[in-house]
């Protein structure tokens, strides 16, 4: 079993990273949170030109590892928008849907609210193996202001006997990859800040306590990454261990990213708490994604159940 991406896949991830780096995503995220979706939609279209929006379609020829690599970059950049729902989940439930459309869904009980329903072109609700069209209802506040959650008002059935289980696993996998990318971003920012900030006449990055925190965060993030690839391979092969592998990846990535966010906050000190500082975009996103598409307790329970069989 290979866990290393191919050179073509690495080039694909690099192209996404370069596009996002040139798009001033922090500003896009802030105006998205404030209710202006225009810059976010422009970014959505630009990512579509790279093929990112096609990755969940069965006829795209993309591998689940490609999905992982793309969502790592989306998380690393803190890109706003319902990418998990539109790119990873809905193509399984509605194979003929328009990939350029900004769409979202709720899938109770694990996903009780629809992310960005107020700005989406289409909203759905997954109930068992039936998919319904829906409308955005009352908004719910998320710790991540770029995740504009909303209750949904069910309308009419649009598809029945859908593969809800595979759609859920892909949603979890994409979320795990996204939080892993965000975790790497906060760690990178902490490392750079530790080189610049000085105390007692020395950069704080030279202090052993700081080094240990950052090193431990890096180790946790690196060890979680093979689980992402392993889960992607399980999904590609329709392995009987898919649920276990996907949940293990979500648990490991979320724990590692949360650890990195705490270390980064401690390294930055008081400035890290301010909403005006860009670090907050990643800190709040990580906190929100830890429980998105299933809580840590739920995914640990799935891993435990698989082990007991």
Domain spanning 165-308 has what CATH number?
A: 1.20.140.10
Of the candidates 287, 295, 297, which has an alpha carbon nearest to the alpha carbon of residue 147?
A: 287
User: What pLDDT is recorded for position 204?
Assistant: 63
Is 37 in contact with 119 (CB distance < 8 Å)? yes
User: What pLDDT is recorded for position 198?
Assistant: 65
User: What pLDDT is recorded for position 258?
Assistant: 97
User: What pLDDT is recorded for position 206?
Assistant: 57
pLDDT in tens, the chain (309 residues): 456 788 899 999 999 999 999 999 999 999 999 999 999 999 999 999 999 999 999 888 899 999 999 999 999 999 999 999 999 999 999 998 888 899 999 999 999 999 999 999 999 999 999 999 999 999 998 999 999 999 999 999 999 999 999 999 999 999 999 999 999 999 999 888 888 776 677 766 556 777 788 899 999 999 999 999 999 999 999 999 999 999 999 999 999 999 999 999 988 887 877 888 899 999 999 999 999 999 999 999 999 999 887
Task: Give how far Cα 161 sits from Cα of 86, 106, 143, 238, Å.
Answer: 19, 17, 34, 18
Is 29 in contact with 282 (CB distance < 8 Å)? no
- CA dist., res. 39 & res. 259, Å (int): 31
In sequence order, the 6+-apart residues with CB closer than 8 A to the CB of 33 are 80, 145, 146, 148
Task: Give how far Cα 208 sits from Cα of 190, 194, 203, 211, 214, Å.
Answer: 15, 12, 11, 5, 10
DSSP string, 210-265: HHHHHHHHHHHHHHHHHHHHHHHHHHHHT-TTHHHHHHHHHHHHHHHHHHHHHHHH
- Check residue 295 and report its DSSP letter: -
Strand ranges of the sheet holding 122-127, from the earlier edge strand across to the other edge? 103-106, 122-127, 130-140, 149-159, 114-115
pTM: 0.94
User: What pLDDT is recorded for position 210?
Assistant: 77
- Check residue 117 and report its DSSP letter: T
User: What pLDDT is recorded for position 276?
Assistant: 84
- What residue spans define the domains of the chain? 165-308
User: What pLDDT is recorded for position 202?
Assistant: 73
């Amino acid at each position: 079993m290979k866990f290393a991406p191919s050179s073509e896949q690495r080039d694909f991830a690099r192209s996404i990273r370069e596009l996002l780096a040139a798009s001033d995503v922090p500003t896009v995220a802030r105006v998205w949170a404030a209710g202006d979706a225009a810059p976010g939609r422009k970014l959505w279209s630009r990512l579509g030109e790279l093929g990112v929006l096609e990755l969940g379609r069965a006829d795209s020829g993309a591998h689940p590892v490609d999905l992982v690599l793309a969502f790592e970059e989306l998380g690393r950049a803190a890109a706003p928008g319902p990418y998990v729902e539109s790119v990873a989940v809905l193509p399984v439930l509605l194979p003929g849907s328009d990939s350029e459309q900004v769409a979202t869904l709720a899938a109770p009980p694990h996903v009780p609210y629809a992310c960005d329903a107020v700005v989406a072109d289409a909203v759905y609700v997954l109930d068992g193996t039936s998919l319904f069209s829906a409308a955005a209802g009352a908004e719910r506040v998320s710790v991540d202001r770029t995740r504009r959650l909303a209750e949904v008002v069910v309308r009419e059935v649009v598809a029945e006997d859908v593969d809800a289980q595979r759609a859920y696993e892909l949603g979890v996998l994409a979320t795990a990859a996204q939080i892993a990318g965000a975790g790497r971003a906060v760690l990178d920012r902490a490392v750079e800040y530790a080189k610049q900030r000085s105390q007692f006449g020395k950069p704080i990055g030279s202090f052993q306590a700081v080094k240990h925190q950052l090193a431990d965060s890096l180790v946790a993030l690196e060890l979680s990454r093979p689980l992402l690839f392993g889960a992607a391979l399980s999904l590609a092969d329709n392995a009987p261990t898919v649920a276990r592998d996907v949940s293990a990846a979500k648990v490991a990535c979320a724990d590692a990213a949360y650890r990195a966010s705490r270390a980064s906050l401690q390294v930055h000190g008081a400035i890290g708490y301010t909403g005006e500082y860009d670090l907050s975009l990643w800190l709040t996103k990580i906190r929100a994604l830890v429980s998105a598409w299933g809580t840590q307790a739920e995914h640990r329970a799935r891993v435990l159940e698989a082990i007991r069989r």
